[in-house]
Amino acid sequence: MAGFVSIREVGPRDGLQNEEPIPTEAKVRLLDALSRTGVGRIEAVSFVHPRAIPQMADADEVWRQAAKVDGVRYSALVPNVRGAQRALAAGFTEIEVVVSASDTHNRRNLNRSTDESLDDIAELIDLLHAAGAHAEVIIATSFGCPYEGDIDPGRVAAIVDRVVRDGADRVAFGDTTGMGTPRRVRDLLTAVRDRHADIPVLLHFHNTRGTALANLLTALEFGVTEFDASVGGLGGCPYAPGASGNLATEEAVHMLHDMGIDTGIDLDALIEVAELAERLTARPLPSG
């Protein structure tokens, strides 16, 4: 297996968007504390309409106040061209956009079909590249949908075909519902690698059914070295009923370090941040 795994910490965005809104100052404290753990990548905010995700209504102010640490790559999630313009104006050069493999989930999440979103993403990729930014396309419900059930890996691979053709710099696969299992991970990665062996890939697992670490291990065996995780297991998906709890960053780091795989992250410092996250959200977090 690889000697180094890159973890993108998504607690400040993906984690907090599924919690009760917390003050701007608390979000900045969490983001700054994570920046000091040695984590190399952080998903800091999302630029969405406040009516859709009120937890992210203060994204501009959070980012303005955050202490940007040298060596940490910060990214932002956007739903559309307007969100991308806001992210670029804020100075982000790594930007993510999401589309669902499930048409039903895409309509619930973005109020349009998967095909309509892919047309929008093609325009958005051109906009980002013209501004010198990188575009990552996250394919949600890659391993299953709360409304449609199983998702054919071939459908996900066809979406990869489209976004690669449109110029995506990286593709991520989201286990939005926590339906992922090692078998589903193998099936999806096989389908994608058979058609796109060279596209950079990142995986995002939820731990709804307790399979996140097993899924991570399976992906490692396929050569994947980039993963999302959320401190304390914060998060879920507001448009996927029952999908609670991302893979906890500290649990992933503990397992990887015990396997002799470096992450660059200070586990003790990370555990302290998980304790901070519990205090800021005023509830016990999934990782305990």
Of the residues 140, 185, 216, 237, which is catalytic? Answer: 237
Strands 170-174 and 134-140: parallel
Residue with tokens 């990887």: 256
Instruction: For residue 165, give every residue at least 6 positions away whose Cβ sits within 8 Å of its Cβ, in sequence order, or none.
Output: none
- Name the token pair of 205: 């697992």
* Distance between CA atoms of residues 175 and 169, nearest Å: 20
Cβ burial 40-56 (10 Å sphere, 16+ → b, else e) = bbbbbbbbbeeebbebb
Residue 237 annotated as catalytic:
yes
Residue 198 to residue 57: CA distance in whole angstroms:
37
Among 110, 116, 206, 193, CA closest to 156: 193
Which residue matches tokens 């286990």? 175
Q: Is there a contact between 263 and 5 (Cβ–Cβ < 8 Å)?
A: yes
Show the tokens assigned to 24: 């701007």
Q: How far is CA 181 from each of CA 90, 150, 158, 186, rounded to the nearest angstrom?
A: 38, 12, 21, 9
**Catalytic residue list:** 237
